[in-house]
């Protein structure tokens, strides 16, 4: 494809792996024509030069791309980067985080199985477990992820342990290595949603977890311009996903979306350190605010696996604070779902509790109604603080 030397020719494998993730994310395998940015292979199918070449591909003897619901070179470039970042043998990109979660879970469970899941998991993960899986004869039990004894008691006989550390909205962390060891001893498969930490700040596969899922719509994209997901795991687990769910559920990632994510990844280390620095400053100032009862932010010093915070945390206002007035007074923070982009966002839990539909994890798990989740963007932290401070004054 290119007359440039491949990365492997320039870098012995161990030397390459010794480089910092920030450096690795900048450098790609050579592209056609020496293009620095990856080409977008905007094609549904790939043609073969001969009957023999096509037959060899179908027999699995070559790896030439066949059809873009499965092998697209732009998407594969992203998958290789994600596998490298997580320290996994294989990665698959999906059309959304939920595409990744559902394909991975459905490749593991079957009728009669039980899932153990941490409380305060992502709301649509909860809906998948409560609305779709019971129709397939799979049920889920929910445990306090901080309670090792409760997890240990729930594991015997379970098929899958589903973790999210930290959890959605309340950001409770789990002792991932200890829990993974408990599950392994019981023959229970472990899966974790690692969207909050990103592979830069937590690498669960290195701590005994079997499969990692991501909403790449958040920090991996970083620019609030695409919805995407990923699964990273061993080659054996990936083979199972490929045999049982991925091709049939069809939630493949489009090449242009993969290109956006490859572009986002270049600046992931820079962005994450800025998000973390601002989030630490703002969370500290908010802890000193008399109108703020609680700040929910994980403390990496108390975690066995987290190396840093990200930009997402929640505050709980005192009962008499007018949350609507606070939200309406914000000028830099926009009101919106999702997180992980360059822009700061506020998401009041009281609104999410009113979401229509029969299953609502916020209500079932009991999220405080005075809670507001903040996604700290890349703006100047003093500007953001002025915005928050004035809005709190307005609402008090
Ligand atoms: C957003 C999110 C998801 C779902 O990802 P989509 O890309 O929106 O499908 C899963 N887990 C967590 C923690 C999330 O925040």
Report how far apart, in Å, the C-alpha atoms of 227 and of each of 40, 45, 80, 261 are: 17, 23, 19, 10
- At residue 2, the pLDDT reads 56
What is residue 353's predicted lDDT score, i.e. its pLDDT? 87
Among protein residues, the one with the nearest Cα to ligand 1's atom 12 is 122
pLDDT value of residue 94: 98
The ligand 1 site (C-beta within 6 Å) comprises 96-98, 122, 164, 168, 193, 195, 215, 217-218, 227, 229
pLDDT level of residue 3 (50, 70, 90 thresholds): low
The chain-wide mean pLDDT, for the chain, equals: 96
Share of the chain above pLDDT 90, in %: 93
| Percent of the residues in the chain that have a pLDDT greater than 70, as a whole number | 99
- Best probe residue, ligand 1, of 168, 218, 229, 375 (max atoms within 8 Å of C-beta): 218
> What b/e string do you get for 239-253 counting C-beta neighbours within 10 Å, with b at 16 or more?
ebbeeebbeebebbb
| pLDDT score recorded for residue 67 | 97
DSSP state of 67: B
At 264 the three-state DSSP class reads: helix
For residue 213, the CA-to-ligand 1 centroid distance in Å is 9
Give the tens place of pLDDT for each residue, 236-292. Answer: 999 999 999 999 999 999 999 999 999 999 999 999 999 999 999 999 999 999 999
Q: Two tokens at 237?
A: 């687990």
List, for residues 131-188, the tens digit of each pLDDT value.
999 999 999 999 999 999 999 999 999 999 999 999 999 999 999 999 999 999 999 9
Question: Helix (H, G, I), strand (E, B), or coil: what is residue 65?
Answer: coil
Angle at 65 between CA 59 and CA 66, to 5 degrees: 65
Alpha helices in 96-231 (DSSP H): 97-106, 123-127, 148-154, 176-185, 198-201
- DSSP letter string, 272-336: HHHHHHHHHHHHHHHHT-TTEEEEE---GGG-SS--S--SEEEEEE-TTS-HHHHHHH-SSSEE-
Kindly give the distance from the C-alpha atom of residue 5 to the centroid of ligand 1, in angstroms, as a whole number. Answer: 38
pLDDT score for 61: 97
Q: Which residue's CA is the closest to the ligand 1 atom numbered 5?
A: 97
Beta bridge partners of 160: 115, 189
Q: How far is the CA of 395 from the centre of ligand 1 (A)?
A: 30
Above 80 in pLDDT, residue 13? no
The confidence band for 111, taking pLDDT boundaries of 50, 70 and 90, is: very high
Tell me how far the alpha carbon of residue 386 lies from the centroid of ligand 1, in angstroms: 30
Q: How far is the CA of 319 from the centre of ligand 1 (A)?
A: 29
Output the pLDDT for position 224: 98
Q: Does residue 1 surpass a pLDDT of 70?
A: no
pLDDT at 15: 85
Flag whether pLDDT at 199 surpasses 80.
Answer: yes
What's the rounded Cα separation, in Å, for the pair 195 and 214?
5
**Considering the entire predicted model, what is its pTM?**
0.97
Question: Do 339 and 216 form a contact (C-beta atoms < 8 A)?
Answer: no
Interatomic CA distance for residues 234 and 355, integer angstroms? 37
């Amino acid at each position: 494809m290119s007359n440039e030397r491949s990365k492997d020719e320039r870098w012995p494998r161990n030397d390459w792996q010794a480089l910092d993730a920030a450096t690795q994310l900048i450098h790609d395998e050579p592209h056609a024509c020496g293009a620095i940015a990856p080409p977008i292979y905007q094609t549904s199918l790939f043609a073969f030069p001969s009957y023999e070449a096509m037959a060899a591909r179908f027999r699995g003897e070559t790896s030439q791309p066949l059809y873009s619901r499965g092998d697209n070179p732009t998407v594969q470039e992203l998958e290789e980067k994600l596998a490298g970042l997580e320290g996994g043998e294989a990665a698959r990109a999906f059309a959304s985080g939920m595409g990744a979660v559902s394909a991975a879970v459905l490749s593991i469970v079957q009728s009669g199985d039980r899932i153990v899941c941490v409380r305060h998991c992502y709301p649509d993960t909860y809906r998948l477990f409560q609305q779709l899986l019971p129709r397939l004869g799979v049920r889920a039990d929910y445990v306090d992820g901080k309670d090792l004894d409760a997890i240990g008691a729930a594991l015997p006989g379970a098929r899958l342990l589903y973790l999210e550390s930290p959890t959605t909205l309340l950001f409770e962390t789990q002792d991932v290595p200890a829990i993974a060891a408990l599950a392994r001893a019981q023959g229970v498969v472990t899966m974790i949603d690692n969207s909050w930490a990103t592979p830069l700040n937590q690498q669960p596969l290195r701590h005994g977890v079997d499969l990692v899922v991501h909403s790449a719509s958040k920090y991996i994209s970083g620019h609030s311009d695409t919805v995407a997901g990923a699964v990273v795991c061993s080659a054996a687990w990936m083979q199972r996903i490929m045999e049982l769910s991925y091709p049939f559920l069809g939630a493949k990632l489009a090449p242009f979306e993969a290109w956006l994510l490859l572009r986002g990844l270049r600046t992931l280390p820079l962005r994450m350190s800025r998000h973390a620095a601002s989030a630490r400053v703002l969370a500290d100032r908010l802890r000193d605010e008399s109108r703020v009862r609680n700040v929910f932010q994980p403390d990496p010093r108390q975690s066995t696996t987290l190396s840093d915070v990200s930009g997402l945390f929640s505050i709980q206002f005192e009962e008499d604070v007018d949350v609507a007035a606070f939200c309406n007074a914000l000028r830099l923070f926009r009101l919106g779902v999702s997180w992980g982009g360059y822009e700061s966002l506020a998401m009041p839990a009281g609104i999410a509790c009113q979401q229509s539909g029969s299953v609502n994890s916020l209500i079932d798990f009991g999220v405080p109604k005075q809670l507001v989740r903040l996604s700290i963007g890349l703006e100047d932290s003093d500007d953001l603080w002025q915005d928050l401070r004035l809005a709190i004054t307005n609402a008090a």
